[in-house]
Structure 1
Amino acid sequence: MYEHLSEIEPNIISKNLILRDGGHLVFLDYAKVPHIRGGITNLLRFNAVGLRMWAAEAIEHGDVFTSMELNGETIHAFTWSCFSVVIDLDSGRIRSRIFTK
């Protein structure tokens, strides 16, 4: 699913940040994409030609990201399950997490 940026319907994209290398960091609106739960996460990175590099690591199966901001080379995001996470921009893996509830 979503192996190429062109496969994503524009109306489900909440944010599409263009990165320094010409790639894209794409945040999908989890409310508009119910099939996201249990599958790929709603935070994706694509390279400059539109091929998916990664889908961000999830805290737990079926969790979704509710917001995200890019800070230099890291991504700060919040999840539905009440975690604040820092995600590595190169790998999509979670560097740190804090339960906020």
Structure 2
Amino acid sequence: MQTNLEFENIEHVLAQADELIQQISSEIRSDTEDAHLMKLELRARNLKKIQSEVQSEKAKSEAYQLSHSTEGIHEAIQEIAKAMEQYKRYLAGDRPNKVE
């Protein structure tokens, strides 16, 4: 009879051990998932930061290019104005002497 009690106790202890193993496994899995999620969130934040920096640099570059484009347009307008002034003088008869 004592052997039966010992066997039942062993089975009971083993059943409890199985339950504990499952609980621990579940907690570890949960902790691992939480840790993994935290890592993913950190990576997502880093990617957003990098994206923001790239967009900022792109905006600066576009502003720089626009500034240079504006300067180029201004120079072109000045050249056109000079050419129109020279053409106006030409039409008015203020022609340079021809060297033959």
Range of TM-score over shorter length? under 0.3
The structure with the larger Rg is 2
TM-score, normalization: structure 1? 0.13
Q: In proportion to residue count, which structure has more strand?
A: 1
In proportion to residue count, which structure has more helix? 2
Larger RCO of the pair (alpha carbons < 8 Å, separation 6+): 1
